[in-house]
Amino acid sequence: MDMAGTVAKSGFAAAEARPRHLTEPPLVRWMLIGIALVFLALVLLLPLTTVIAEALAKGVQTYLAAVTEPDALSAIRLTLLVAAIAVPLNTVFGVAAAWAIAKFKFSGRNVLVTLIDLPFAVSPVISGLIFVLLFGAQGWFGPWLEAAGIKIIFALPGIVLATVFVTFPFVARELLPVMQAQGSEEEEAAAGMGAGGWRIFFRITLPNIKWGLLYGIILCNARAMGEFGAVSVVSGHIRGLTNTIPLHVEILYNEYQFTASFAVASLLVLLALMTLIAKNVMEWKQQQVTQRMREEVETDAH
Amino acid sequence: MHIKVERISKTFGRFEAVKDVSFEIADGRLVGILGPSGGGKTTILRMLAGLETPDSGTIYFDGHPVNDVPPQKRGIGFVFQNYALFRHMTVFDNIAFGLVVQRRKKEEIRERVARFIELTALNGLENRLPHQLSGGQRQRVAFARALAPEPKLLLLDEPFAAIDAKVRKELRTWLKNTIRAVGVTTIFVTHDQEEAVEVADEMIVVHQGRVEQQGAPIDIYQRPQSPFVASFIGETTVLDNIPSLRGFESAAGFERAIIRPEFVEVGTEREIKLPGASNRGKVRNVFFRGMHWQVDVQVGDSILSAYRSAELPPLRPDDDVFVLVHRLYAFEHGRCTVLENAAKTDPMPVSI
C-alpha cells in the first residue's frame, strides 16, 4: 500500500540523447530495457490488474455491493476523515519546517533535517507502537488519560496521530530543495518595499513554492490514505468504527471474502493512479519553473 | 537623504565582515562603494537597508538613528545583484508592487508605473514575466521597481555584475543620467574600479571591512592615502628598491613604491626627451591592448609596465630602450607620498 513512498523524482531531462562514447551497444541497451520492463510487468502491472480483475470477477453488482456495504462505507469515511485532519496539519508543519531550515541559520538546524526524515527510517509498526506505549492503557499517560475519560488508542485520535507521524516528511521534503534554491532575496526585496510578513508570504513565497507544495500534499495524502502498519497497531480493528480502507481490506481477505476484499482494494489502486497522474502534472509544472530559473541564470551569465 | 554611519561593525560567526566603519554621505549624492569581493561592501549596503543589524555603531538617516527601524519603514529602494524580481509577476506587477503596498490609488499606480516603464524604456514589455526578459531588461525592471515607490535612498548591489560587457557600458551612462534626473541619493557597490570611477561622483574604498579612503574618484586616483588604495585603483607595479631609479636617488627610507604604467615612458634614445632622467632597460614583453601597447620592461632587477602609443613604431622583446619614470607613490609605515622625478627638473641634464 506504500505505492507513493519515496519514489525518486524522475529526471526526464537528463535522459536526452547521450553522446556516442557514453552509449552502450544496442544489445546491452535492449537487454537493460527488457529486464526493466519484464520486472515492472511482474511486480507492478500483474498484481494491479489482478486486483481489478478479482474485484470484478463476480460482476459489477457484487463489486458495488462490496464497496457500498455499511462497514466499507464507514472505512471510507474514516479514511477520508483521517486524511482531512492529517494532511492539513502536515502541510502547515512542512511549510514551517522547510521555511525555518531554508531561510534561517540556527543551531540544531541539521538535527531538524535529520528528524524530519525519521519516519522514513522507522518501521511503521514501531511508529504505531510508540503511541501505544505513550497513550495506551499501560502507557505513560494511560492512567491519566483514562481518569480524564479521553480515548486515544483504539480511537480516532490515535489513528490520526499515527498517520501524522508517518506522513510528516512528505511536504517538508518536497519544499526544502525548492526553497533552498530560491533563497530569500525576493522576500527581502518585498520587505524593502514596505510589505509585511503576511503579504510577503501570500504574495511572494507561496506563489513561488506552490507546485512543490501541491506535489508534497498529494504524496502526503496518498500515504495518509494508504498507511497500514502504524494505523493497524493503534486502531484496534473495530469493524465499522476504527477500520480504515487498508485495514478493512485485510479483514475481508482474512475472512476469505476475496471479491469484496479486492473490490475495496481497487479503491486504493484508483487513488494510486490519480496520485501518479497528479504527481506527473505537478512535476512537469515544477520542472518548467526550475527550467526558467536555470535559463534566467544562464542568460545572466552571458 | 543625508546619511551618517558611525563606527558600525558586523561579525558573522568568527568572520568580521565590517570593522568600525564610519562615513557620511550628503543628500543627493551618487556614491560608489568600491573594494575587492568579500571586503564587506554588500554587508554595509544590507545594514543600510535594514536587512542586517550592526553589532555595534549607529546609522543615521537625516540625523535620526535607524538601527531599530525595520526595512519596511526605511523608505529605501534596493536593487539586488541578481535583481530578485518576483518571478511569477509581470513587469507591470513587479513595478507596481511597492505602490500597492503603499495603498496608492489604482489610477495613480497605473500612471506611475507607466512613467517608469517609459523612463526605463520597457514599453511593450508590461505583460512579460521576468524569465522572458534579457539581462539588461531585467536590470531595468529591478531599477524601476526600486524607484517607483519614491525611496529617499537607492541602494544597488553590484548593479552591472550580471550583464555582458557591451550592454554594461550603455547601462552605466543610462543609470547615471536617470539617477540624476530622479535626484535620489544613491549608493552602489562594485568591485570594478572602472565602473566606480565612471558612475560615482564620490567613492568609498573598502578593504577587509574597513574604509580605506573616501573622496572624488580623481582625488583617490591622484592622492591615494594607503598602499591598498594605490594598488587597487589603476594598474600598478610594486617596486622595492626606489633609489635604483634615475631621478629618485635621494628617496631613501621608503619601504616600497607603486608605479602606474601611465607614469612610465618607454622609447628609443631619439623618442625620450630627457635621457638624463631615464634608466636603460630591456624590453621583456609587448602586448597590444586595443588602443595602446603595454610594454613590460626590465630595469635592474625589476620589471616595470608602461603604456606606449599605438602610433609609435612597435617595440620588440630584447630591444634596448630608455625608461623614464615620471612619478611614483612611495610608502612608509602605511603612509603614501607622491614623488616626482627629480632629474627631470635638473637644469643641466647629462646625456649618456
DSSP string for residues in B265-295:
EEE-TTT-S-GGGEEEEEEEEEEE-SSEEEE
Same domain, A39 and A106: no
Number of domains in chain A: 2
Question: Hey, how many other C-beta atoms are within 10 angstroms of the C-beta on B320?
Answer: 12
**Cα of A195 to nearest chain B Cα, Å:** 6
Which residue(s) pair with B214 in the sheet?
A: B204
Residue B72 and residue A189: Cβ atoms within 8 Å?
A: no
CATH T-level fold of B3-225: Rossmann fold (3.40.50)
CATH T-level fold of B237-345: OB fold (Dihydrolipoamide Acetyltransferase, E2P) (2.40.50)
Same domain, A36 and A88: no
Same domain, A283 and A146: yes
Determine the Cα–Cα distance for residues A271 and A61; give it in Å rounded to an integer: 21
Q: Which cell goes with B295?
A: 610594454
Per-residue pLDDT, averaged over B333-346, amounts to: 77
Same domain, A114 and A144: yes
A298 lies within 8 A of chain B by CB: no
Same domain, A49 and A134: no
Sketch the domain layout of chain B as residue ranges.
3-225, 237-345
Which residue(s) pair with B306 in the sheet?
A: B295
Per-residue pLDDT, averaged over B86-97, amounts to: 92
The closest CB to that of A207, out of B70, B88, B145, belongs to B88
> Residue A11 pLDDT more than 60?
no
Mind listing the pLDDT tens digit for each residue in B267-318? Answer: 888 888 887 788 888 999 999 888 888 999 998 888 888 999 888 888 889 8
Tell me A25's DSSP state: P
Determine the Cα–Cα distance for residues A286 and B187; give it in Å rounded to an integer: 37
Contact (Cβ atoms closer than 8 angstroms) between residue B199 and residue B191:
no
A181 lies within 8 A of chain B by CB: no
The closest CB to that of B86, out of A186, A293, A295, belongs to A186
**Does residue A3 sit within a domain?**
no
Same domain, A186 and A208: yes
> Residue A301 pLDDT more than 70?
no
**Does residue A68 sit within a domain?**
yes
Same domain, A172 and A230: yes
Same domain, A34 and A68: no
- Give the per-residue pLDDT at A302: 44
Per-residue b/e over A44-80, b at no fewer than 16 CB within 10 Å? eeeebeebbebbeeeeeeebeebbebebbebbbebbe
Same domain, A149 and A41: no
Mind listing the pLDDT tens digit for each residue in A143-164? Answer: 887 788 778 788 888 899 999 9
Q: Which residue has the cell 511572494?
A: A204
Determine the Cα–Cα distance for residues B28 and A232; give it in Å rounded to an integer: 71
Same domain, A49 and A167: no
Domain enclosing residue A185, as ranges: 59-301
Per-residue pLDDT, averaged over A39-48, amounts to: 89
Of A11 and A97, the structure prediction assigns the larger pLDDT to A97
Could you tell me the CATH number of the domain that includes residue A250? Answer: 1.10.3720.10
Nearest CA in chain A to B84: A186
Mind listing the pLDDT tens digit for each residue in B233-267? Answer: 877 888 877 888 888 887 777 877 888 888 888 98
Phi, psi (5° rounding) for residue B252?
-90, 165
Q: Which cell goes with B186?
A: 544613491
Q: Which cell goes with A121?
A: 527510517
User: Taking CA A186 as the corner, what is the angle to CA A183 and CA A188, rounded to the nearest 5 degrees?
Assistant: 95
Mind listing the pLDDT tens digit for each residue in B124-167? Answer: 898 899 988 888 889 889 999 999 998 999 999 988 887 777 77
A29 lies within 8 A of chain B by CB: no
**Does residue A41 sit within a domain?**
yes
**Cα of B43 to nearest chain A Cα, Å:** 14
Nearest CA in chain A to B154: A192
Same domain, A44 and A170: no
**Cα of B4 to nearest chain A Cα, Å:** 20
Residues 272-291 of A with CB under 8 A from B: 289
- Give the per-residue pLDDT at A17: 63
**Does residue A18 sit within a domain?**
no
Nearest CA in chain B to A295: B131
Same domain, A75 and A37: no
**Does residue A199 sit within a domain?**
yes
The closest CB to that of A199, out of B78, B84, B101, belongs to B101
Task: Provide, as residue numbers in chain A, all residues whose Cβ is less than 8 Å from the Cβ of B49.
Answer: 188, 192
Task: Provide, as residue numbers in chain B, all residues whose Cβ is less than 8 Å from the Cβ of A302.
Answer: 135, 164
Mind listing the pLDDT tens digit for each residue in B173-208? Answer: 888 888 888 889 999 999 888 888 888 989 999 999
- Give the per-residue pLDDT at B242: 81
**Does residue A120 sit within a domain?**
yes
> Residue B62 pLDDT more than 90?
yes
Give me the interface pTM, i.e. the ipTM: 0.77
Interface residues of chain B, partner chain A, Cβ below 8 Å: 49-51, 70-74, 76-78, 80, 82, 84-88, 97-98, 101-102, 130-131, 134-135, 138, 145-146, 149, 162-164
Domain boundary at A55, A72, A98, which?
A55
**Does residue A201 sit within a domain?**
yes
Which residue(s) pair with B97 in the sheet?
A: none
**Does residue A231 sit within a domain?**
yes
Tell me the one-letter amino acid at B86: F
Mind listing the pLDDT tens digit for each residue in B24-50? Answer: 999 989 999 999 888 889 999 999 999
